[in-house]
Amino acid sequence: MALENILRQHAEIVDFLKSLVMVHRRALQDDNLSSQLDGVRRDIYICFNDLCKLNDMLIACDGEIKETVGMLKSSKEKFGKLADKEIKLQDEKKKWSLEFSPLPESKVSIPISSSYRPLLNQYIELVGATNTSLAAEPTTERDEENGFVDRRRLLQSAELLQACHEESIKDIKQLESLLRDFKKDQAFIITELRSNQARIRRETIRIDESIDKIHQSRKKLLNKVGLAIPEAPEFSFLSHRLFNLQLNEDNKKREQEQQDIANHASEFIDMKIRSLQDQLTHKKEDSSNLITQRNLWGECAQLVKELEDRLSTALTSKDGLPSGQIKNWLKKTIADLNTTIAATDSDILITLITDEKEVIEKALVEISGETAQPLNIPKKNRYQASPSHSHSSPPFLVASKSPPKIGITDKTVDPATDANDIELENMEFAKGKSDKRD
Protein backbone atom coordinates (compact mmCIF):
# COMPACT_ATOMS: atom_id res chain seq x y z
CA MET A 1 0.00 0.00 0.00
CA ALA A 2 1.41 3.39 -0.98
CA LEU A 3 2.22 5.83 1.78
CA GLU A 4 -0.58 8.20 0.71
CA ASN A 5 -3.12 5.37 0.85
CA ILE A 6 -1.94 4.32 4.31
CA LEU A 7 -2.23 7.86 5.64
CA ARG A 8 -5.64 8.33 4.04
CA GLN A 9 -6.99 5.05 5.39
CA HIS A 10 -5.56 5.87 8.81
CA ALA A 11 -7.45 9.18 8.86
CA GLU A 12 -10.67 7.50 7.67
CA ILE A 13 -10.52 4.82 10.37
CA VAL A 14 -9.81 7.40 13.08
CA ASP A 15 -12.86 9.41 11.96
CA PHE A 16 -14.98 6.25 11.82
CA LEU A 17 -13.82 5.24 15.29
CA LYS A 18 -14.87 8.64 16.63
CA SER A 19 -18.32 8.18 15.08
CA LEU A 20 -18.57 4.72 16.66
CA VAL A 21 -18.12 6.32 20.09
CA MET A 22 -21.50 8.05 19.68
CA VAL A 23 -23.07 4.94 18.16
CA HIS A 24 -21.81 2.89 21.09
CA ARG A 25 -23.28 5.34 23.61
CA ARG A 26 -26.67 5.33 21.86
CA ALA A 27 -26.72 1.56 21.74
CA LEU A 28 -26.00 1.41 25.48
CA GLN A 29 -28.75 3.88 26.34
CA ASP A 30 -31.46 2.75 23.90
CA ASP A 31 -33.02 -0.67 24.58
CA ASN A 32 -34.13 -0.88 20.94
CA LEU A 33 -30.50 -0.71 19.82
CA SER A 34 -28.98 -2.92 22.52
CA SER A 35 -29.07 -5.97 20.25
CA GLN A 36 -26.47 -4.24 18.08
CA LEU A 37 -23.98 -3.72 20.89
CA ASP A 38 -21.92 -6.80 20.09
CA GLY A 39 -21.53 -5.64 16.50
CA VAL A 40 -20.57 -2.11 17.57
CA ARG A 41 -18.02 -3.42 20.06
CA ARG A 42 -16.62 -5.70 17.39
CA ASP A 43 -16.32 -2.77 14.94
CA ILE A 44 -14.51 -0.73 17.58
CA TYR A 45 -12.08 -3.58 18.19
CA ILE A 46 -11.48 -3.95 14.45
CA CYS A 47 -10.76 -0.21 14.19
CA PHE A 48 -8.21 -0.39 17.02
CA ASN A 49 -6.65 -3.44 15.40
CA ASP A 50 -6.51 -1.73 11.99
CA LEU A 51 -4.80 1.29 13.52
CA CYS A 52 -2.15 -1.06 14.94
CA LYS A 53 -1.59 -2.60 11.52
CA LEU A 54 -1.49 0.73 9.71
CA ASN A 55 0.95 2.08 12.28
CA ASP A 56 3.22 -0.92 11.70
CA MET A 57 2.96 -0.28 7.97
CA LEU A 58 4.00 3.34 8.53
CA ILE A 59 6.99 2.12 10.51
CA ALA A 60 7.85 -0.18 7.61
CA CYS A 61 7.58 2.85 5.30
CA ASP A 62 10.34 4.79 7.06
CA GLY A 63 12.41 4.88 3.89
CA GLU A 64 9.46 6.01 1.81
CA ILE A 65 8.55 8.65 4.38
CA LYS A 66 12.09 10.03 4.35
CA GLU A 67 12.04 10.00 0.57
CA THR A 68 8.69 11.82 0.58
CA VAL A 69 10.00 14.43 3.02
CA GLY A 70 12.98 15.00 0.73
CA MET A 71 10.65 15.30 -2.26
CA LEU A 72 8.47 17.82 -0.40
CA LYS A 73 11.46 19.96 0.57
CA SER A 74 12.74 19.88 -3.00
CA SER A 75 9.27 20.71 -4.32
CA LYS A 76 8.96 23.63 -1.92
CA GLU A 77 12.32 25.00 -3.10
CA LYS A 78 11.31 24.61 -6.75
CA PHE A 79 7.94 26.19 -6.00
CA GLY A 80 9.67 29.21 -4.48
CA LYS A 81 11.95 29.58 -7.50
CA LEU A 82 8.97 29.37 -9.85
CA ALA A 83 7.15 32.03 -7.84
CA ASP A 84 10.18 34.37 -7.98
CA LYS A 85 10.54 33.77 -11.71
CA GLU A 86 6.86 34.52 -12.29
CA ILE A 87 7.13 37.80 -10.37
CA LYS A 88 10.08 38.87 -12.54
CA LEU A 89 8.21 37.95 -15.71
CA GLN A 90 5.12 39.87 -14.59
CA ASP A 91 7.28 42.92 -13.89
CA GLU A 92 8.92 42.57 -17.30
CA LYS A 93 5.51 42.30 -18.95
CA LYS A 94 4.40 45.53 -17.32
CA LYS A 95 7.41 47.28 -18.82
CA TRP A 96 6.22 46.26 -22.28
CA SER A 97 2.80 47.82 -21.80
CA LEU A 98 1.98 50.72 -24.13
CA GLU A 99 1.47 53.77 -21.97
CA PHE A 100 1.65 56.87 -24.16
CA SER A 101 2.85 59.87 -22.25
CA PRO A 102 2.29 63.33 -23.75
CA LEU A 103 5.32 64.44 -25.75
CA PRO A 104 6.50 68.07 -25.96
CA GLU A 105 5.22 69.83 -29.03
CA SER A 106 7.73 70.22 -31.83
CA LYS A 107 6.87 72.03 -35.04
CA VAL A 108 8.82 72.36 -38.25
CA SER A 109 8.07 75.33 -40.51
CA ILE A 110 7.85 74.52 -44.20
CA PRO A 111 8.22 77.68 -46.36
CA ILE A 112 5.86 77.84 -49.33
CA SER A 113 6.40 80.51 -52.01
CA SER A 114 3.45 81.76 -54.03
CA SER A 115 3.94 83.95 -57.17
CA TYR A 116 0.40 84.26 -58.51
CA ARG A 117 -0.86 86.52 -55.73
CA PRO A 118 1.09 89.67 -56.80
CA LEU A 119 -0.13 89.28 -60.36
CA LEU A 120 -3.69 88.85 -59.17
CA ASN A 121 -3.41 91.95 -57.02
CA GLN A 122 -2.12 93.91 -60.00
CA TYR A 123 -5.10 92.82 -62.06
CA ILE A 124 -7.59 93.89 -59.39
CA GLU A 125 -5.88 97.27 -59.06
CA LEU A 126 -5.96 97.67 -62.83
CA VAL A 127 -9.61 96.94 -63.43
CA GLY A 128 -11.02 97.64 -59.98
CA ALA A 129 -12.90 95.20 -57.78
CA THR A 130 -16.26 96.51 -59.05
CA ASN A 131 -15.36 95.53 -62.59
CA THR A 132 -14.72 91.85 -61.73
CA SER A 133 -17.00 88.86 -61.32
CA LEU A 134 -17.02 89.52 -57.61
CA ALA A 135 -19.32 92.50 -58.06
CA ALA A 136 -23.07 92.10 -58.51
CA GLU A 137 -23.10 94.23 -61.71
CA PRO A 138 -19.64 94.76 -63.14
CA THR A 139 -19.27 98.26 -64.74
CA THR A 140 -17.49 96.73 -67.72
CA GLU A 141 -20.73 95.19 -68.89
CA ARG A 142 -22.45 98.59 -68.78
CA ASP A 143 -19.54 100.14 -70.71
CA GLU A 144 -19.83 97.48 -73.38
CA GLU A 145 -23.56 98.15 -73.66
CA ASN A 146 -22.78 101.85 -74.14
CA GLY A 147 -20.18 101.00 -76.84
CA PHE A 148 -17.18 102.10 -74.72
CA VAL A 149 -14.25 99.59 -74.60
CA ASP A 150 -10.69 100.37 -73.43
CA ARG A 151 -8.62 98.13 -75.69
CA ARG A 152 -5.27 98.73 -74.01
CA ARG A 153 -6.53 98.05 -70.48
CA LEU A 154 -8.43 94.99 -71.63
CA LEU A 155 -5.35 93.47 -73.28
CA GLN A 156 -3.24 94.28 -70.24
CA SER A 157 -5.84 92.64 -67.99
CA ALA A 158 -5.88 89.49 -70.10
CA GLU A 159 -2.09 89.37 -70.00
CA LEU A 160 -2.05 89.65 -66.20
CA LEU A 161 -4.72 86.96 -65.82
CA GLN A 162 -2.85 84.58 -68.13
CA ALA A 163 0.33 85.02 -66.11
CA CYS A 164 -1.63 84.66 -62.87
CA HIS A 165 -3.22 81.46 -64.15
CA GLU A 166 0.11 79.92 -65.05
CA GLU A 167 1.66 80.83 -61.70
CA SER A 168 -1.34 79.49 -59.75
CA ILE A 169 -0.99 76.15 -61.54
CA LYS A 170 2.65 76.04 -60.47
CA ASP A 171 1.71 76.84 -56.86
CA ILE A 172 -0.99 74.14 -56.81
CA LYS A 173 1.46 71.58 -58.16
CA GLN A 174 3.90 72.59 -55.44
CA LEU A 175 1.24 72.08 -52.75
CA GLU A 176 0.09 68.80 -54.26
CA SER A 177 3.70 67.58 -54.19
CA LEU A 178 3.95 68.57 -50.53
CA LEU A 179 0.68 66.73 -49.79
CA ARG A 180 2.00 63.63 -51.52
CA ASP A 181 5.08 63.81 -49.35
CA PHE A 182 2.87 64.07 -46.28
CA LYS A 183 0.89 61.01 -47.38
CA LYS A 184 4.08 59.06 -48.04
CA ASP A 185 5.29 59.97 -44.56
CA GLN A 186 1.94 58.88 -43.12
CA ALA A 187 2.15 55.51 -44.90
CA PHE A 188 5.70 55.04 -43.61
CA ILE A 189 4.58 55.93 -40.08
CA ILE A 190 1.72 53.40 -40.19
CA THR A 191 4.02 50.64 -41.49
CA GLU A 192 6.62 51.29 -38.82
CA LEU A 193 3.97 51.54 -36.08
CA ARG A 194 2.46 48.19 -37.04
CA SER A 195 5.91 46.62 -37.15
CA ASN A 196 6.77 47.92 -33.69
CA GLN A 197 3.41 46.89 -32.25
CA ALA A 198 3.89 43.40 -33.68
CA ARG A 199 7.32 43.16 -32.06
CA ILE A 200 5.85 44.30 -28.74
CA ARG A 201 3.08 41.69 -29.03
CA ARG A 202 5.67 39.00 -29.78
CA GLU A 203 7.59 39.95 -26.67
CA THR A 204 4.48 39.94 -24.46
CA ILE A 205 3.37 36.62 -25.99
CA ARG A 206 6.82 35.20 -25.25
CA ILE A 207 6.50 36.36 -21.64
CA ASP A 208 2.96 34.92 -21.40
CA GLU A 209 4.21 31.60 -22.75
CA SER A 210 6.96 31.57 -20.14
CA ILE A 211 4.38 32.33 -17.44
CA ASP A 212 2.15 29.51 -18.75
CA LYS A 213 5.09 27.11 -18.56
CA ILE A 214 5.64 28.20 -14.98
CA HIS A 215 1.96 27.55 -14.22
CA GLN A 216 2.20 24.08 -15.76
CA SER A 217 5.33 23.29 -13.77
CA ARG A 218 3.68 24.64 -10.64
CA LYS A 219 0.58 22.53 -11.32
CA LYS A 220 2.71 19.39 -11.65
CA LEU A 221 4.48 20.22 -8.40
CA LEU A 222 1.19 20.79 -6.59
CA ASN A 223 -0.22 17.51 -7.87
CA LYS A 224 2.97 15.80 -6.78
CA VAL A 225 2.65 17.07 -3.21
CA GLY A 226 -1.08 16.33 -3.06
CA LEU A 227 -2.63 19.69 -3.94
CA ALA A 228 -4.63 19.20 -7.11
CA ILE A 229 -5.73 22.41 -8.87
CA PRO A 230 -9.29 22.17 -10.28
CA GLU A 231 -9.49 21.94 -14.04
CA ALA A 232 -11.73 24.08 -16.23
CA PRO A 233 -14.59 22.06 -17.78
CA GLU A 234 -14.69 21.68 -21.54
CA PHE A 235 -17.64 23.14 -23.44
CA SER A 236 -18.68 23.04 -27.04
CA PHE A 237 -18.46 26.20 -29.14
CA LEU A 238 -22.25 26.63 -29.09
CA SER A 239 -22.42 26.18 -25.32
CA HIS A 240 -19.62 28.68 -24.93
CA ARG A 241 -21.56 31.26 -26.96
CA LEU A 242 -24.84 30.60 -25.13
CA PHE A 243 -23.36 30.70 -21.65
CA ASN A 244 -20.48 33.06 -22.24
CA LEU A 245 -21.29 35.35 -19.31
CA GLN A 246 -21.71 32.48 -16.87
CA LEU A 247 -18.54 30.83 -18.13
CA ASN A 248 -16.57 34.03 -17.68
CA GLU A 249 -17.82 34.29 -14.12
CA ASP A 250 -16.97 30.65 -13.43
CA ASN A 251 -13.53 31.09 -14.95
CA LYS A 252 -12.86 34.06 -12.68
CA LYS A 253 -13.88 32.03 -9.64
CA ARG A 254 -11.76 29.09 -10.77
CA GLU A 255 -8.74 31.31 -11.39
CA GLN A 256 -9.18 32.83 -7.95
CA GLU A 257 -9.43 29.35 -6.42
CA GLN A 258 -6.30 28.25 -8.26
CA GLN A 259 -4.48 31.35 -7.08
CA ASP A 260 -5.58 30.75 -3.48
CA ILE A 261 -4.28 27.18 -3.64
CA ALA A 262 -0.97 28.36 -5.06
CA ASN A 263 -0.68 31.10 -2.42
CA HIS A 264 -1.05 28.59 0.42
CA ALA A 265 1.00 25.82 -1.17
CA SER A 266 4.12 26.56 0.89
CA GLU A 267 2.12 26.44 4.12
CA PHE A 268 0.56 23.14 3.08
CA ILE A 269 3.95 21.65 2.19
CA ASP A 270 5.42 22.77 5.54
CA MET A 271 2.48 21.23 7.38
CA LYS A 272 2.86 17.97 5.47
CA ILE A 273 6.61 17.86 6.14
CA ARG A 274 6.00 18.37 9.86
CA SER A 275 3.34 15.65 9.83
CA LEU A 276 5.62 13.13 8.11
CA GLN A 277 8.53 13.99 10.36
CA ASP A 278 6.19 13.44 13.29
CA GLN A 279 5.35 10.04 11.78
CA LEU A 280 9.05 9.19 11.72
CA THR A 281 9.57 10.37 15.28
CA HIS A 282 6.53 9.02 17.09
CA LYS A 283 5.13 6.06 15.16
CA LYS A 284 7.46 3.56 16.83
CA GLU A 285 6.46 5.00 20.19
CA ASP A 286 2.79 4.88 19.19
CA SER A 287 3.03 1.21 18.28
CA SER A 288 3.01 -0.07 21.85
CA ASN A 289 0.33 2.47 22.86
CA LEU A 290 -2.00 1.37 20.05
CA ILE A 291 -1.52 -2.30 20.89
CA THR A 292 -2.26 -1.50 24.53
CA GLN A 293 -5.43 0.41 23.56
CA ARG A 294 -6.61 -2.47 21.40
CA ASN A 295 -5.92 -5.03 24.11
CA LEU A 296 -7.55 -2.91 26.81
CA TRP A 297 -10.70 -2.52 24.71
CA GLY A 298 -10.72 -6.27 24.06
CA GLU A 299 -10.40 -6.84 27.79
CA CYS A 300 -13.22 -4.38 28.49
CA ALA A 301 -15.48 -6.03 25.92
CA GLN A 302 -14.70 -9.46 27.38
CA LEU A 303 -15.40 -8.29 30.95
CA VAL A 304 -18.74 -6.79 29.95
CA LYS A 305 -19.71 -9.82 27.87
CA GLU A 306 -18.96 -12.20 30.74
CA LEU A 307 -21.04 -10.04 33.08
CA GLU A 308 -23.90 -9.94 30.58
CA ASP A 309 -23.79 -13.71 30.18
CA ARG A 310 -23.82 -14.24 33.96
CA LEU A 311 -26.67 -11.81 34.50
CA SER A 312 -28.64 -13.22 31.58
CA THR A 313 -28.26 -16.73 33.00
CA ALA A 314 -29.18 -15.55 36.49
CA LEU A 315 -32.27 -13.68 35.33
CA THR A 316 -33.55 -16.64 33.31
CA SER A 317 -32.74 -19.24 35.99
CA LYS A 318 -35.68 -20.72 37.87
CA ASP A 319 -33.76 -20.90 41.14
CA GLY A 320 -32.43 -17.38 40.82
CA LEU A 321 -29.49 -15.87 42.66
CA PRO A 322 -29.35 -13.64 45.71
CA SER A 323 -28.99 -9.98 44.94
CA GLY A 324 -25.78 -9.92 46.95
CA GLN A 325 -24.08 -12.22 44.45
CA ILE A 326 -25.23 -10.06 41.54
CA LYS A 327 -23.98 -6.93 43.32
CA ASN A 328 -20.59 -8.56 43.80
CA TRP A 329 -20.41 -9.30 40.09
CA LEU A 330 -21.32 -5.71 39.24
CA LYS A 331 -18.85 -4.23 41.72
CA LYS A 332 -16.05 -6.51 40.56
CA THR A 333 -16.65 -5.58 36.92
CA ILE A 334 -16.75 -1.87 37.81
CA ALA A 335 -13.47 -2.22 39.69
CA ASP A 336 -11.88 -4.05 36.76
CA LEU A 337 -13.09 -1.36 34.35
CA ASN A 338 -11.66 1.36 36.61
CA THR A 339 -8.34 -0.46 36.51
CA THR A 340 -8.55 -0.56 32.72
CA ILE A 341 -9.35 3.17 32.54
CA ALA A 342 -6.37 3.95 34.75
CA ALA A 343 -4.10 2.04 32.38
CA THR A 344 -4.71 4.33 29.39
CA ASP A 345 -4.56 8.00 28.48
CA SER A 346 -6.56 7.65 25.25
CA ASP A 347 -9.61 9.94 25.35
CA ILE A 348 -11.55 7.71 22.96
CA LEU A 349 -10.86 4.55 24.95
CA ILE A 350 -11.60 6.26 28.28
CA THR A 351 -14.94 7.49 26.88
CA LEU A 352 -15.88 4.04 25.58
CA ILE A 353 -15.02 2.21 28.80
CA THR A 354 -16.61 4.93 30.95
CA ASP A 355 -19.87 4.59 29.00
CA GLU A 356 -19.84 0.82 29.64
CA LYS A 357 -19.06 1.38 33.31
CA GLU A 358 -21.84 3.94 33.79
CA VAL A 359 -24.44 1.44 32.58
CA ILE A 360 -23.18 -1.13 35.10
CA GLU A 361 -23.11 1.51 37.86
CA LYS A 362 -26.70 2.39 37.06
CA ALA A 363 -27.64 -1.29 37.32
CA LEU A 364 -25.84 -1.49 40.67
CA VAL A 365 -27.78 1.51 41.97
CA GLU A 366 -31.04 -0.07 40.85
CA ILE A 367 -30.38 -3.43 42.49
CA SER A 368 -28.99 -1.81 45.65
CA GLY A 369 -32.21 0.17 45.99
CA GLU A 370 -34.24 -3.06 45.62
CA THR A 371 -36.14 -1.48 42.76
CA ALA A 372 -38.64 -3.55 40.86
CA GLN A 373 -37.42 -2.17 37.55
CA PRO A 374 -35.50 -4.59 35.37
CA LEU A 375 -31.77 -4.15 35.01
CA ASN A 376 -30.52 -2.37 31.92
CA ILE A 377 -28.87 -5.44 30.47
CA PRO A 378 -28.66 -5.70 26.67
CA LYS A 379 -31.23 -8.07 25.26
CA LYS A 380 -30.02 -11.34 23.79
CA ASN A 381 -31.40 -12.64 20.55
CA ARG A 382 -32.47 -16.23 21.02
CA TYR A 383 -32.20 -16.91 17.33
CA GLN A 384 -28.64 -15.87 16.58
CA ALA A 385 -27.82 -15.46 12.93
CA SER A 386 -25.07 -17.46 11.33
CA PRO A 387 -21.51 -16.16 11.91
CA SER A 388 -21.32 -14.88 8.37
CA HIS A 389 -24.36 -12.63 8.88
CA SER A 390 -24.26 -11.85 12.57
CA HIS A 391 -22.13 -8.75 12.02
CA SER A 392 -23.34 -7.19 8.84
CA SER A 393 -25.20 -3.91 8.77
CA PRO A 394 -26.59 -2.92 12.19
CA PRO A 395 -23.63 -0.76 13.38
CA PHE A 396 -23.47 1.08 10.07
CA LEU A 397 -27.23 1.66 10.04
CA VAL A 398 -26.99 3.19 13.48
CA ALA A 399 -24.16 5.41 12.31
CA SER A 400 -26.27 6.59 9.35
CA LYS A 401 -23.20 6.78 7.12
CA SER A 402 -21.17 4.75 4.72
CA PRO A 403 -18.29 3.39 6.79
CA PRO A 404 -14.74 3.00 5.60
CA LYS A 405 -13.40 -0.44 4.94
CA ILE A 406 -12.16 -1.82 8.24
CA GLY A 407 -10.45 -5.09 8.91
CA ILE A 408 -7.14 -4.87 7.04
CA THR A 409 -6.72 -7.96 4.86
CA ASP A 410 -4.61 -9.14 1.96
CA LYS A 411 -7.10 -7.47 -0.39
CA THR A 412 -6.78 -4.05 1.19
CA VAL A 413 -3.04 -4.04 1.86
CA ASP A 414 -0.04 -4.62 -0.36
CA PRO A 415 1.12 -8.19 0.44
CA ALA A 416 4.74 -7.09 0.01
CA THR A 417 4.56 -5.04 3.21
CA ASP A 418 6.17 -6.82 6.16
CA ALA A 419 3.66 -5.31 8.55
CA ASN A 420 0.85 -7.19 6.86
CA ASP A 421 1.72 -10.41 8.71
CA ILE A 422 -0.35 -9.15 11.64
CA GLU A 423 -3.68 -10.99 11.85
CA LEU A 424 -6.84 -10.06 13.65
CA GLU A 425 -6.44 -11.46 17.17
CA ASN A 426 -9.34 -13.24 18.80
CA MET A 427 -10.73 -11.32 21.71
CA GLU A 428 -10.46 -14.53 23.75
CA PHE A 429 -6.99 -13.30 24.81
CA ALA A 430 -8.74 -11.36 27.58
CA LYS A 431 -10.70 -14.35 28.80
CA GLY A 432 -7.62 -15.91 30.40
CA LYS A 433 -6.96 -12.74 32.37
CA SER A 434 -10.55 -12.68 33.54
CA ASP A 435 -10.45 -16.34 34.59
CA LYS A 436 -7.35 -15.68 36.65
CA ARG A 437 -9.05 -12.77 38.43
CA ASP A 438 -12.09 -14.99 39.14
pTM recorded for the entire structure: 0.50
- Checking if the pLDDT of 64 tops 50, the result is yes
Does residue 162 have a pLDDT over 80?
yes
φ/ψ region of 320 (left if φ > 0, alpha if ψ in -120 to 50, else beta) reads left
**Domain assignment of residue 144, yes or no:** yes
pLDDT for 202? 93
Q: How far is CA 211 from CA 76, 97, 338, in A?
A: 18, 16, 64
- Inter-residue contact 79 to 35 (CB < 8 Å): no
| Residue 333 domain-assigned (yes or no) | yes
Q: Is the predicted pLDDT of residue 219 greater than 90, yes or no?
A: no
Domain-embedded: residue 257: no
Check whether residue 320 and residue 400 sit in a common domain.
yes
Task: Evaluate if residue 231 carries a pLDDT over 80.
Answer: no
Whether residues 299 and 201 fall in one domain:
no
pLDDT of residue 386: 30
CB atoms inside a 10 Å sphere around CB 342? 9
Q: Which of 228, 258, 289 corresponds to the end of one domain?
A: 228
pLDDT digits (tens, 9 = 90+) for 119-157: 888 888 888 877 777 776 655 555 555 555 678 888 888
Share of the chain above pLDDT 90, in %: 33
More confident residue, 220 or 226: 220
Query: How confident is the model over 375-417, as pLDDT tens digits?
Result: 444 444 323 333 333 333 233 333 333 456 566 654 454 433 3
Specify whether the CB–CB gap between 395 and 52 falls below 8 A.
Answer: no
- Would 101 be classed as within a structural domain? no
Specify if 258 maps to a domain: no
Give the mean pLDDT of the chain. 77
If one counts the domains in the chain, the total is: 2
- pLDDT bracket for residue 247 (50, 70, 90): low
> What's the average model confidence in pLDDT over 151-178?
89
What is the rounded distance in angstroms from the CA atom of residue 386 to the CA atom of residue 395?
Answer: 17
Specify the pLDDT at position 150: 74
Are 187 and 298 in a shared domain?
A: no
28 close to 355: Cβ distance less than 8 angstroms:
yes
In a domain, 244, yes or no: no
Question: How does pLDDT run across 248-282, given as a tens digit for each residue?
Answer: 666 677 777 777 887 888 888 888 888 888 777 77
Domain of 117 in residue numbering reads as 83-96+112-228
Where helices occur in 264-322 by DSSP H, the ranges are: 265-316
Instruction: Report the pLDDT averaged over residues 292-299.
Output: 95
Instruction: Return the amino acid letter for 107.
Output: K
- Pair (314, 380) in one structural domain: yes
407 and 375 in a single domain? The answer is yes
Please report the pLDDT score of residue 388 as a whole number. 30
Judge whether residue 304 has pLDDT over 90. Answer: yes
pLDDT at 294 over 90: yes
Asked if pLDDT for residue 66 goes beyond 90, the answer is no
User: In this predicted model, which residue has the larger pLDDT, 16 or 436?
Assistant: 16
C-alpha span between 209 and 215 (Å, rounded): 10
The answer as to whether 193 is a domain residue is yes
32 burial via Cβ count (<10 Å: 0-12, 13-18, 19+): exposed
| Higher-confidence position of 149 and 26 | 26
The pLDDT score that the predictor gives to residue 110 is 80
357 located within any domain = yes
pLDDT value at residue 146: 54
Inter-residue contact 404 to 19 (CB < 8 Å): no
> Which pLDDT does position 140 carry in this prediction?
57
